Amino acid sequence: MLSKNIDKYTFSQQHDDLSFGKRVWYFFWDLIKVVAVALAIIIPVRYFLIQPFYVQGASMEPSFYDHEYLIIDELSYRFSNPERGDIVVFKYPKDPTQFFIKRVIGLPGETVEVKDGFVFIYTDVGEKKYLLDEFNYLDQTVQTRGDKRWQLEADEYYVMGDNREHSLDSRLFGPVSRGFIVGKVWLRGWPLDRAKVFDQVDYVQFNSN
């Protein structure tokens, strides 16, 4: 009788241990599936759709300040090309390991001229010239330094920082090829009191001819 009770107790204990082990296994198996699904979503989003960017330096003031946290839209440029006024992140042409943030000023095929503190755009192979309206984002007490004129190729963009007195941009290193442009600024997430979604800039055209 005593032996039977011992056998029954031993069997019951083994059964309980087995059930606990299964519960642990199912828990970890569900956890693995959740993590796998999360990675399947997060990795493509992180590497192909959006990317965080940390502002360093003063070249885009007053639009962006040092240490601001941005979200870059990498998807849009897979279906369309950069537009004038877009704020883009790109690989520095002279050192592709570095990433810069600037504003698109000149588009492929145009001629960009910096003169007398202003930016002029020539279209139609240089036959039509107009003063670029930059009143939406520039500090109007600061003029655009330089005396430059550049004819852009079919895949080149002329970029400048909004802080025209303190910006390393196309006035110095030339235009940026389309393949170097990573994406455009979509959202400023930090600091919270400056959080903003960025839309396309509307320009007013001032003919200069």
Residues labelled catalytic: 59, 102
The helix (H) or strand (E) run that includes residue 51 is strand 50-54
Which two three-digit tokens encode residue 119? 């930016």
Q: Please name the residues in contact with 146: beta carbons below 8 A apart, sequence gap of 6 or more.
A: 114, 171
CB 161 within 8 A of CB 139: no
Distance CA 138, CA 116 (A): 16
Cα dihedral 165, 152, 98, 194 sign: positive
